[in-house]
Amino acid sequence: MLLLLPLFVRDLGGSEAAFGLVLSSAAVPTLVVLVLLSRAPRAFRPHWLLGAAIAVFGLGAAGTTVVSESWQPLVAIGLLVGTAWALVYTLAPMVMDEMVSEAGRVTHFGYLTGVQQIGAGLGPVFCD
């Protein structure tokens, strides 16, 4: 989705600056969430928080499909999706750490990061 977003913003009448605004809209909330998460990583159950972040990410991605008139609503969607993505990217290893043994941790971390990168690379192919 992120790789196709500049084209979508342009189709809605936006510019590179508009895309930059959409992309950077999650910077501050993401920083706040990650600082809170690093200070109290077990304040919430990581697997529940991960599930909620995935749901928010999905809702934000689905919300993109209803934007048709102007690029400005994408700023709010970018805020949701960007913050949720940061949570997913941070929480997934924490949840996995609870699920696998110490001996299998390296292998599973490799699978986790590999699948995330495959998803980022194949997303635009399947969307086109």
pLDDT value for 127: 62
In the chain, where are the structural domains located? 5-127
Q: With 60 as the cut, is the pLDDT of residue 128 above it?
A: no
Which is nearest to 64 in space by CA: 128, 16, 4? 4
What are the pLDDT digits (tens) for 94-118?
888 788 888 877 888 888 778 777 8
Question: What's the pLDDT band for 89 if we cut at 50, 70, 90?
Answer: confident
- Over the chain, what is the mean pLDDT? 84
Q: What is the pTM of this model?
A: 0.74
